[in-house]
Structure 1
Amino acid sequence: MKERPHGAPAIRRPTKSDFTASLSEGWGNFVANPVPDLIFASFFVIAGLVMSWITYATGHTFWLILAVMGFPLVGTLGAVGFYELSRRKTEGGETGFGAVFSEVWSQRGGQLPWLSAIIIVTFMFWFFLGHMIFALFLGLAPMTNVSSSLEVFLTTEGLSMLAFGSAVGAVFATFVFAISVLGMPMLLDRDVDFITAMLKSIGAVTAAFVPYIIWGIVIAVITLAAMVPAFLGLFVAMPVLGHATWHLYKRVTSGGH
């Protein structure tokens, strides 16, 4: 594991060109060397398919809605591999899957797992709360399978549940986004504790709330849209967004490349 700079970096306010350039660089990284990206992305696709199979096999497909809506929350965990790929491509390092995975794995005893644990706990709490919201609004509805009872969502109770659940989910998503959009790449890039990384990330998002929230919405929309064709769109969406997030982090912490 290479020696990393100590302490959190200074973070400037992002500009519109930072976001557009980061997306462009993310796409460029993907098309330049797609093989390791596709390998990392396959974990997302497989996870989505397994998640779908479990919910259908157990007859509790309403869980799939919660899982799909919460999927972007945990996307930042798997994106660490894309961050490391981007770093190595920028610095001219080895970009094979084995080398990248080895570097990511070497972080297991550092600060990354702590931030990852917070994200996972938040995701699980969203599952619990989402189930409570479902029971609150639709607990008495004659439905056991969402795929065969979609009309229940068009009732007053169903629409109220979707509206309230979406609002609650947005709060969870905003929290995870705020602590991870710069916090996760910072932990990979710098020798800094996870509390500092979280606070610096939250501070940066708070200081430029509108630009970052728009960026977060773009990420969420692209991610959710990529799930529609049997999660296969994640093969492209996750690498591009992962690389773009790294490049955005580097731009706002070092003034560009």
Structure 2
Amino acid sequence: MGTLHVVSNAEGTMVYPEVRQIGILEVLDALRLGLKDFQEKPSHYVFLCIMYPIAGVVLMVWSAGANLLPLMFPLASGFAILGPIAAIGLYEISRRRELGLDTSWVHALEVRRSPAMFSIIASASVLFALFIIWLLVAQKLYVSYFGAEPPATLSVFVHNVLYTTNGWRMMLWGNLAGLCFAVAALAVSVVTFPLLLERDVGAFPAILASIRALIRNPIPVLFWGLIVAVLLVIGSIPIFAGLAVVLPVLGHSTWHLYRKLIGPPAL
């Protein structure tokens, strides 16, 4: 069971891990190693992640049926913000594979016993907050161009977005805002959850280490973010089904990227 500590480690001290400098080749190697992890037992990992595409479809249907059509794209694209949370169990499986332990999918559930559980929850709350703010910004942007009245039908909504000047402007500013939120989510999560699974350093040092990793390696980390975005788009076609494969590969790759970005614990 985890002890009730969030900001620092269990001893109440701040431990700041070493952040390494890497290159593009290390990012590609992390992706290769993640694919190798997935290939070991892909059926287990597809089963583990099948709820994620199902949740995506449910949210899309719900938004369409509840006159929330303007939020369909923000909901879909916002999954990139929450992706690191969905992949926590996969980080654990990669960690166990690295140690030569059993990698059955049931071990992904053992994350709940981590001594850093409260720090993990606190870090996840940051991403959830970013996700909610992104939805609010997207809704505000739509209202500023088309008013508070929801579109009557899906065809009307598509016409307004794709064939009007206001729609083009909304897409421009919406994509720019989405890019800012994506970079922010990447900055606070690229190594946060793998680090907390391996070392109970506390939420603040873990998030700070993630931000430092981006600052020290802007091109490699942003390149990783681009890979994630492209693969999530590919995995979302059609109806999020491909995410059942894309998510495990990205989850395992993130663990190996963490290994390359963060130095070993000090003796």
Provide TM-score, normalisation by structure 1: 0.91
User: CA–CA distance in 2 between the matches of 1:109 and 1:87?
Assistant: 16
**Equivalent pair of 1:68/1:224 in contact (CA under 8 Å):** no
Q: Could you list the per-position Cα deviations for residues 116-164 of structure 1 after superposition, in whole angstroms to 9, with x for gaps in the alignment?
A: 0111011011111110001001227883334453121221100100110
**Equivalent pair of 2:69/2:157 in contact (CA under 8 Å):** no
Task: Work out whether 1:167 is the aligned partner of 2:181.
Answer: no
User: CA–CA distance in 2 between the matches of 1:168 and 1:138?
Assistant: 18
Greater share of helix? 1
Q: Could you list the per-position Cα deviations for residues 154-206 of structure 1 after superposition, in whole angstroms to 9, with x for gaps in the alignment?
A: 21100100110111111111111101001121111112111111111101101
User: CA–CA distance in 2 between the matches of 1:216 and 1:42?
Assistant: 22
Residue aligning to 1:84: 92
Residue aligning to 1:198: 207
Residue aligning to 1:70: 78
Which stretch shows the higher mean deviation, 118-127 or 103-112?
103-112
Instruction: Report sequence identity in percent.
Output: 29
Task: Work out whether 1:237 is the aligned partner of 2:246.
Answer: yes
Counterpart secondary structure, 1:45: helix
User: CA–CA distance in 2 between the matches of 1:19 and 1:91?
Assistant: 22
In structure 2, give the amino acid aligned to 1:163: L
Counterpart secondary structure, 1:161: helix
Which stretch shows the higher mean deviation, 194-203 or 138-147?
138-147
User: CA–CA distance in 2 between the matches of 1:223 and 1:121?
Assistant: 21
Report the number of matched residues.
253
Q: Give the deviation of 1:243 after TM superposition.
A: 0.5
Unaligned runs of 5+ in 2: 2-8
What CA RMSD, in Å, does the superposition of the two structures yield over aligned residues? 2.3
Counterpart secondary structure, 2:20: coil
User: CA–CA distance in 2 between the matches of 1:155 and 1:148?
Assistant: 11
User: CA–CA distance in 1 between the matches of 2:217 and 2:251?
Assistant: 21
**Equivalent pair of 2:191/2:206 in contact (CA under 8 Å):** yes
Provide TM-score, normalisation by structure 2: 0.88
Q: Could you list the per-position Cα deviations for residues 209-249 of structure 1 after superposition, in whole angstroms to 9, with x for gaps in the alignment?
A: 12211210110111122112111100110000110010011
Q: 1:207 to 1:61 in 2, by over 3 A?
A: same
User: CA–CA distance in 1 between the matches of 2:226 and 2:257?
Assistant: 15
Unaligned runs of 5+ in 1: none
Task: Work out whether 1:218 is the aligned partner of 2:227.
Answer: yes
